[in-house]
Amino acid sequence: MNVRLLSLVVLGVVCSLAVGANSGCGGPTGPKRVPVSGTVKYEDGSIPTGAVAVIRFEPARAGNAADPNTKAASGTIQPDGSYQLTTVEENDGAFPGEYKVTFTVMKDYGDNISLVAPEFTDAATTPHSATVTLDGKNKFDFTIKPRK
């Protein structure tokens, strides 16, 4: 390969990488994520704790299709019950839209026994939902039931 051709190939790759790095979801022209936080507690006021304690906002479905402008976001339920959502980067929030809210709490890693009542672990059955807005407070507090 001659030097001129190699230079053109390298220049093409560099330009492609630069364009790719400056485009994509959440960029200056892409959808904006907004901070989302709140608390999670059991009905008796205690905090759901375990090696795994996660809240997940899953895009609500209209029929069989999820809103194309949303993406799932999740956060760790902290020892005080608080959480902050992450979609792409830590604590970057969620895209505005409608969500079903699910919870995963397990005593140990690799444990397949949920500490949360089954209806709260699946987007199809959870009673909790949230609407994230561009100009709203976006603070959501949830009460869940422990597994019996």
Q: Mind listing the pLDDT tens digit for each residue in 35-54?
A: 999 999 999 999 999 999 99
Q: Say whether pLDDT at 17 is over 50.
A: no
- Going by pLDDT thresholds of 50, 70 and 90, the confidence category of residue 66 is low
Find the length of the chain: 148
Give percent of the chain above pLDDT 90. Answer: 66
pLDDT, residue 31, reads: 73
Q: Would you say residue 120 has pLDDT above 80?
A: yes
User: Which runs of E-coded beta strand occur in the chain?
Assistant: 37-42, 52-59, 61-62, 65-66, 73-76, 82-84, 97-106, 129-132, 139-144
CATH number of 33-144: 2.60.40
Looking at residue 111, its pLDDT comes to 82
- How large a percentage of the chain has pLDDT more than 70? 74
Asked whether residue 83 carries a pLDDT value surpassing 80, the answer given is yes
Name the residue type at position 86: T
Nearest to 75 by CA among 36, 111, 107: 36
Selection from 75, 35, 73 nearest residue 55 by Cα: 75
What pLDDT, on the 0 to 100 scale, is given for residue 30?
A: 59
pTM of the model: 0.77
**Rounded to whole angstroms, how far apart are CA atoms 42 and 128?**
13
Cβ atoms < 10 Å from Cβ of 93: 22
Residue ranges of domains in the chain: 1-30, 33-144
Pairing of strands 139-144, 37-42: parallel
